[in-house]
Each structure stands twice: as structure tokens, then as C-alpha cells.
Chains A and B, each alone.
Chain A
Amino acid sequence: MIDFQLHLPNSLEDAFALLEQYGDDARLLSGGTALILQMKQRFAQPGHVIGLRRLPGLGDIGETADGGVRIGALCSQRRVETSPLVAGRLPLVAQAYRQVATPRIRSMATVGGGLAHGDPNQDPPPALIALGAAAILSSAPDGNGNNGGQRILPVEELFLDYFDTDVRPGEIITGLVIPPAPAGSGAAYLKFLPRTADDYATVSAAAVITRDADGHCREARLVLGSVGLTPIRATAAEDLLRGQPLTDATIRAAAATVPAAVDPLEDHRGSVDYKREMAQVFARRAIEQAAGSAAG
């Protein structure tokens, strides 16, 4: 690892000042499970590392006024997985975080760090996007009439490219807000893990399906992971489901649009064609499971 200077600010204001001072030469560190690996491999060579663990007030999980959940950026992924509030309100979120790597990594890795990492192979983003979650990005006053404060960015818009996010210079992800699941909805997150239990997904699929009283699909959200440079929302499949009866035929027709919507990279987990096909299979299963658990 190339040497660097480590800063451990005690307040968000101090962290903003360090970001301002060191600019592109600084990287933020929370759990370290991503950044330290990148630094060991010299993919990242920052001159300054700003450790966030002493920042107060960013480690809590609470409910929002509308019945959703707010999670502080420094909350460990393990805490999200084991939170009774999350399990009760948004079991899909607990389930997705539970699929990340191993219990040790989940004890270290944070919610904010995971989002900032921008790795398209992570488990939580497809589930968070399917639920309409948003990241809270905080920044300092800039002296030009911007008092600083918060930018609320849908997680769907956070990921711009491979390991690239819309976290702008001077911003720090300070939290995650997840709205309540729609009434009558069912949800599923499926991770295809043919190799080892702690691997990244070969493909993954998150679905949130809302049913009408007559069994028709009122709303559908389908998001695929590990099959592109970012998580991919399968809008063509959603359009085919919306307003339709949730039959085997409509679900299969919707899933059949998935191979054209994804853009996987070939690696040791499979070829491009294989991942396209598996994306279709797991999309269908996720829709089936979500539709099956939707109350209507």
C-alpha cells in the first residue's frame, strides 16, 4: 500500500473541510472492506484518507413519518440485516443485506460505504432501487447562497457507470431513506450463487409487485444486478406486467424482455449469453415470488 495521511474528523463539518482541502487526493473511509482492498492492490492511491467512524449521529436506524425507514450511513450492513424495525417494515432490505459476502464483512461494511463504492455486483442496490429508496448526500455551505445541507437522490440515479456514482465533490453520503412498501405489494430478492455462498452474484433480481383486488398487477418494479455497469431497471418487463393479470403467461412474457435489457460482462462466473439467460430465469422467479406474496 502506498503511504498516505489518515484523518479522523470528529464532525461532519471537519470532514467537509478536509474534503475541500484535499479534493481529488482524498478518499473517504468507513468500513474499509472496499477501499483498503483497492489501496492494497494500488487501484486507489489517495494521498489522504478521511476516516468517518468518529462522525456522530450516522449510525442509527429509525422510522420516517410516512412509515418508511431511515438508515444512517455508518450503520453496519449487519445491523441492517438484524434490525427488528427493518425486518418488520421492509423484509426485502434485510434479506438483501443478509446476502452480502460473510457475517464478518457485513459487520465491517457500512450502508453508506456500500452505496459509494458503486460496484454493480452488490446485493442491496437492486432491492433498494425496486423499493424506491433514496440516498441522502450532505455537503457544506459553498458561500454562493448554497447553505449546504442535503440532496436527496434516488438510488436508481446514484450509479452512473462501473464503480462510478453521482456523489459530487464535497458531498458525503450520510444516510439512506426507504419508503414503506406499497399496500398489497410482495417483494423478492434472488441471488444466483452457483459457486460459493460468499461470492458475488452471477446474476441477481429484485422485484416488487403490487396486486389489485382482482389479481391484476397494479405496479411492478424489477431490477437486475451483476448484469451491467450499474444495476439495471427492467422497464420493458415492468410495462408488460402493469395492468395485466399475474398469470404464468404474462410473467414469462415480461421476463422474456430481460435478456435485451441487460448488458453483462463475461467473467469466470459465465459468458455474456449465459448471464443474459440466467437474468431472464431469475427475473421470472423473482416476479413469481413477489406476485405470490402480494396480498391484493
Chain B
Amino acid sequence: MIHIKCFGIAKEIVDSELAKIEADKITVADLRKKMNADYKAFTQINGYMVAVNQEYATDDQIINSGDEVAIIPPVSGG
């Protein structure tokens, strides 16, 4: 099981601070596909980054069960 932290608009789309994916190992690209299929609204925002263990991840990066994963919608600090 992979737990995904959701912030900002992602938290509203998932309606929770945490989403779950039934997998032990998944690429960032496949996680995006799965999230976009489970929650169509993700395809209607200005994209999002995925962070793994608090670092921005590339699409080919592999996520393992136990990694800290987060969906990072467009940031707007400052």
C-alpha cells in the first residue's frame, strides 16, 4: 500500500489529506495515471508534481511501499 499526502487543491479533489494506492512498487508516471483515473478532476488543474521522500521526483522514478509520497499542485507561496 502506498499512501499519498495531498495538499491544496489536491486535498479538495481527493476529499482527504491522504490517498491510497494498492501497490508495493509503482513508477511516478503510473501513480499519475492511477490518480488521474481515480479522480478525473486532476486532469482539469494546472498539473502537479510528485514528491518522494520530500524531494521532487521524475516520472521514471520508482516509489516503494513505505516511501513518503505527496502530490504537489502548483505552488503559490510568497
Do these two chains interact?
Answer: no
